[in-house]
Amino acid sequence: AQTVTQSQPEMSVQEAETVTLSCTYDTSESDYYLFWYKQPPSRQMILVIRQEAYKQQNATENRFSVNFQKAAKSFSLKISDSQLGDAAMYFCAYRTGANNLFFGTGTRLTVIP
Amino acid sequence: GAGVSQSPSNKVTEKGKDVELRCDPISGHTALYWYRQSLGQGLEFLIYFQGNSAPDKSGLPSDRFSAERTGGSVSTLTIQRTQQEDSAVYLCASSEGPEPYNEQFFGPGTRLTVL
């Protein structure tokens, strides 16, 4: 069974600083996709970044980057130069085949001015 | 273009009543998903539609839950004889196709409160 674990229910970061959100997952599949979604108070889930398991290079999107460790089944999100607009719930998710996304329980990120 | 829309935004109902939640996916998207987000939890998969294929209902928690998708577009999630534990945010998502690399675009959700 696929499971996604986010061990940090809450995190805080000073504005302009860097923060890392942790995610681990469990799977027997060799090919899959990993995602980080952001959910602001508006409830709209927004894709932040995605990683394909067969690619060794870590994905990067502007201030967002991941540290993908396939052997350790770890997929952390690094947010650089944190901004007030980054405050939200962040969900790590896993997907294989044509099936649904499996989500972790989320990390609430607070950005301190 | 327009994103995924859901209605109503909020729904309050009494225990035992039936409710219908609507999802309008992005035009042209063949795949449609329903998820449930309970307070303080991640998203839980409910049901998946792909084109004209039979839906994947493996996530529906009980036979009180059903969903349909008419004409490969609009979808309705129906909960019969609602219970208090059904209170949650119900999110719909759509994607261009079923391939795992396709981004799922989410709607704003319907917050259901069962009194």
**Residue A98 confidence (pLDDT) above 70:** no
Instruction: Calculate ∠ Cα A84-A88-A94, nearest 5°.
Output: 135
| Residue that has been written with the tokens 């577009």 in this structure | B73
Question: How high is the pLDDT of residue A11?
Answer: 97
Q: Which residues contact B38 (CB under 8 A, 6 or more apart)?
A: B44, B87, B88
**Residue B1 confidence (pLDDT) above 60:** no
Question: How high is the pLDDT of residue B68?
Answer: 95
The single-letter code of the amino acid at B41 is: Q
| Nearest CB partner across the interface for A100, out of B48, B101, B103 | B48
Q: What percent of chain A has pLDDT over 90?
A: 79
pLDDT (mean) for A98-112: 90
Question: How high is the pLDDT of residue A105?
Answer: 93
Give the residue from B54, B53, B4, B7 showing the smallest Cα distance to B29: B4
**Is the Cβ pair B45, A102 closer than 8 Å?**
yes
What is the C-alpha separation between B95 and B5, in angstroms, rounded?
Answer: 13
Question: How high is the pLDDT of residue A100?
Answer: 79
Question: How high is the pLDDT of residue B99?
Answer: 84
Which of A6, A32, A38, A100 is the best substitution to test chain B (most B C-beta atoms within 10 A)?
A100
Nearest CA in chain A to B42: A105
Q: pLDDT averaged over chain A?
A: 93
Which residues of chain A lie closer than 8 angstroms to B100, CB-CB?
32-33, 95-99
Question: How high is the pLDDT of residue B72?
Answer: 77
Residues shown for chain B: 115
Instruction: Calculate ∠ Cα B47-A25-B23, nearest 5°.
Output: 25
What is the C-alpha separation between B21 and B32, in angstroms, rounded?
Answer: 14
Calculate Rg over the CA atoms of chain B. 13
**Residue A1 confidence (pLDDT) above 70:** no
